[in-house]
Amino acid sequence: MAIAMIQIPFQEELLQQIDRFVERKVVPSRESFIRTATEMYVQRKRNWQNLFAYGEKLALDNNLSEEDVMNEIKANRYSK
C-alpha cells in the first residue's frame, strides 16, 4: 500500500485535546489518533451508505413509497 504524507492545519485547542489522549496513553501518538479517527469516520460513512442502499433496495423490491415507510415508522413508534 502506498503511503502519502500530508500537512493539515489544526486549531491549537484541538491539538491540545489530541495531546491529552496521547499523554494518558489512550493512543500512542497524534499520527495514530488522526489515522484511527479518519478510518472510523470513513467506515461510519460507508456503513450509513450501505444501510441507505439496503433500505432503498427493500423499498423497491416491496414497491414501497417514502410515505409507506414513514407510516410504518410512525406505527412502530406508537406501538411501544
Residue 1, pLDDT above cutoff 90: no
| Mean pLDDT, rounded, of the chain | 94
Can you tell me whether residue 26 is helix, strand or coil? coil
pLDDT on residue 5: 92
Per-domain residue ranges of the chain: 28-78
* pLDDT score of 39: 97
33 CB burial (10 A radius; 0-12, 13-18, 19+):
middle
DSSP structure class, residue 80: -
At residue 80, the pLDDT reads: 72
Q: pTM score, two decimals?
A: 0.73
pLDDT value for 71: 92
